[in-house]
Amino acid sequence: MGAFKIGNAEAAVGGRARAAKLSPERRREIALAGLQAIADKLFDGDLVAAGRYMSSRGAAARRAAAARRRAEKAAKERKP
């Protein structure tokens, strides 16, 4: 319980509850602080490069999820 991993339902519920209590401005500040930390650590503070990196990671995750859904659907259709 409480581990940060994909599929952790308890953490997801807690994260959504916290986000719901924060204003949109505060959520934006938190997101920007996270992006700045990535930029500082990996891109010598270049926010544009960090933004491109995060965008590509999101796109890759969406493509992988779509491929999993297609494979699951195909597997279900093959079962008698």
Convert the pLDDT of each residue in 31-50 to its tens digit: 899 999 999 999 999 999 99
Q: Is residue 1 part of a domain?
A: no
Count of domains observed in the chain: 1
How far does Cα 34 stand from its chain's mean position?
12
Q: Is residue 29 part of a domain?
A: yes
Question: Please, what is the end-to-end C-alpha distance for the chain in angstroms?
Answer: 38
Within 10 Å of residue 50's Cβ, how many Cβ atoms? 21
pLDDT digits (tens, 9 = 90+) for 54-78: 999 888 888 998 999 999 999 888 8
Q: Is residue 63 part of a domain?
A: yes
| Host domain of residue 72 | 9-78
Q: What is the pTM of this model?
A: 0.60
Q: Is the pLDDT of residue 3 over 70?
A: no
In angstroms, rounded to a whole number, what is the distance separating the alpha carbons of residues 38 and 45? 8
Q: Which residues contact 30 (CB under 8 A, 6 or more apart)?
A: 22
